[in-house]
């Protein structure tokens, strides 16, 4: 068909989850980086959700391709399993038992507890090898409650210092509702990272289409007109699976008339042949747009009255946005409520391209989560991944660069801005609970940003120069 005519090595818009076709949009790239970070840090439970067709399975397969040889992986694609069958599938993927042994009935009659004991022995055997194990369960929203409870029990397999099994649950949006149910409170409390995949915007859809055409090898033979791309975005709502369906059928229309450019009419014809209607905007999207407009209006109002009646919440929103827009924020208002600065990251705008915002001037306390030497080449990536993890875990991330004299300049990753010591201590404890390897601790804002050490360094430098 059209693959041969346009010179494609394979079908560019196949619906199979081929990892080489994963397009790392901002949302998918962040999810991929967070998952890699969580695996390296052995964070325990991770939950990734997304609407139908947003590329969750493709993301999982791409992640598996990037995992190093010291990490054993198990991928469960069929959630409709009993507790015993789940355990057997995990042991099979980890290589504890072979497929031939399974077919021969090697585990027939073995109890659930015996299967758990075998898995535990295997995980303990990885410790001297400095290896680890990761379990990924796709379509997790379909898991029965008793199987989810079994997964929670598996998360208890640990030593005094670290989790032995990293568990990643991937599912549709209703997985979030399922985990919040009363029956699964214990499991939900163990989740250290949550991330939701977003549909592609109009500009990203254009890059997504070009990416898949290039990977398939025929990008020079056929292109999509800009208006055709815009129509693909409108009709698909930015959902990758629907984009693939539309583009595949539109290429077939172009091939039928031997065209080298896909026109908007061809996309429309493809949608009609698929009986595809433009998706209705999700209510949450309308709320976000509404909130953005209200926030912008509030910022203008706050500036016009010189910040006299601005709240701490409004100032934080404005200060973080101002950093991205390169405009100076108004003078920081006093923090009106003890917990006013302890805001979850969902109340903050996306991080600017240069990284997380600086600590607000009105903050008295913050939590030091990590510190990295500025001169080290890998520090930028470590800071970025840690701030993304904090944001996904519900904390407001900040970055402060400090001068430690002879030890050089360091970038400190901070979580939250507080005036209440008890609130800061509770959040620091929550951070340590979410990441057992974390050394999160509460500092004053002056200590965290290096302001407290500056006078001492200045005095020492003056003494050195005077010969004292």
Q: Which residues are bridge partners to 194 per DSSP?
A: 47
- Is pLDDT larger for residue 467 or for residue 258? 258
- Is pLDDT larger for residue 36 or for residue 354? 36
Contact yes or no for 131/162 (Cβ under 8 A)? no
Phi, psi of 207 (to 5 degrees): -70, -35
pLDDT for 219-273, tens place per residue?
788 999 999 999 999 999 999 999 999 999 999 999 999 999 999 999 999 999 9
Rounded Cα gap, residues 170 and 61, in angstroms: 12
Q: Give the pLDDT mean for 440-463.
A: 70
- Closest by CA position to 167, among listed 92, 88, 76, 91: 76
Please state which CATH number belongs to domain 26-197. Answer: 3.40.50.300
| pLDDT value of residue 338 | 35
Q: What percent of the chain has pLDDT over 70?
A: 78
Which 3-state string (H, E, C) describes 424-442? Answer: HHHHHHHHHHHCCCCCCEE
| pLDDT value of residue 430 | 80
Eight-class DSSP state of 405: G
| pLDDT value of residue 461 | 53
> Can you point out the beta strands (E) in 242-362?
261-262
Q: Is residue 455 predicted with pLDDT exceeding 90?
A: no
Arch. (CATH architecture) of 2-12+200-273: Orthogonal Bundle (1.10)
| pLDDT value of residue 314 | 33
Phi, psi of 372 (to 5 degrees): -135, 135
Please list, in sequence order, all residues whose beta carbon lies within 8 angstroms of the beta carbon of residue 64, skipping any fewer than 6 positions away: 19, 73, 75, 136
User: Domain extents for the chain?
Assistant: 2-12+200-273, 26-197, 285-455
CA-based radius of gyration for the chain: 26
Rounded Cα gap, residues 427 and 441, in angstroms: 9
Least confident piece of the model among 166-180, 233-247, 305-319: 305-319
């Amino acid at each position: 068909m059209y693959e041969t005519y346009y010179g494609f090595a394979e079908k560019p818009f196949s619906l199979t989850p081929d990892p080489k076709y994963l397009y790392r949009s901002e949302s998918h790239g962040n999810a991929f980086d967070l998952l890699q970070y969580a695996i390296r840090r052995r964070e325990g439970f991770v939950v990734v959700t997304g609407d139908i067709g947003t590329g969750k399975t493709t993301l999982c397969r791409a992640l598996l391709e990037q995992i190093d040889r010291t990490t054993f992986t198990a991928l469960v694609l069929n959630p409709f399993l009993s507790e015993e069958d789940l355990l057997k599938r995990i042991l099979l993927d980890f290589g504890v038992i072979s497929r031939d042994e399974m077919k021969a009935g090697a585990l027939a009659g073995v109890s659930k507890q015996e299967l758990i004991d075998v898995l535990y022995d295997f995980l303990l055997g990885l410790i001297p090898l400095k290896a680890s194990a990761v379990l990924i369960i796709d379509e997790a929203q379909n898991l029965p409650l008793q199987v989810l409870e079994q997964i929670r029990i598996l998360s208890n397999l640990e030593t005094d210092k670290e989790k032995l099994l990293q568990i990643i649950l991937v599912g549709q949006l209703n997985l979030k509702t399922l985990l919040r149910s009363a029956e699964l409170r214990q499991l939900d409390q163990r989740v250290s990272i949550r991330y939701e995949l977003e549909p592609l915007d109009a500009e990203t859809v254009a890059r997504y289409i070009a990416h898949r055409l290039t990977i398939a090898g025929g990008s020079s033979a056929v292109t999509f007109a800009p208006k055709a791309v815009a129509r693909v975005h409108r009709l698909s709502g930015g959902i990758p699976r629907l984009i693939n369906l539309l583009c595949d059928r539109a290429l077939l229309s172009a091939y039928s008339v031997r065209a080298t450019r896909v026109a908007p009419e061809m996309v429309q014809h493809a949608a009609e042949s698929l009986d595809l209607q433009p998706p209705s905007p999700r209510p949450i999207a309308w709320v976000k747009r509404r909130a953005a407009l209200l926030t912008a209006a509030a910022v203008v109002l706050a500036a016009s009255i010189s910040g006299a009646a601005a709240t701490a919440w409004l100032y934080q929103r404005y200060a973080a946005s101002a950093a991205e827009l390169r405009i100076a924020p108004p003078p920081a208002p006093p923090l009106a409520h003890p917990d006013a600065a302890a805001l979850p990251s969902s109340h903050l705008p996306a991080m600017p391209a240069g990284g997380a915002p600086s600590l607000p001037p009105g903050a008295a306390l913050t939590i030091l989560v990590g510190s990295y030497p500025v001169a080290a080449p890998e520090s930028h990536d470590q800071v970025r991944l840690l701030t993304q993890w904090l944001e996904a875990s519900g904390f407001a991330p900040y970055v402060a660069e400090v001068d430690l004299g002879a030890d050089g300049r360091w970038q400190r990753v901070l979580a939250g801005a507080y005036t209440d010591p008890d609130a800061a201590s509770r959040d620091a404890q929550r951070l340590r609970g979410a990441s057992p390897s974390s050394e999160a601790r509460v500092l004053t804002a002056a200590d965290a940003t290096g302001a407290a050490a500056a006078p001492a360094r200045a005095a020492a430098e003056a003494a050195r120069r005077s010969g004292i």
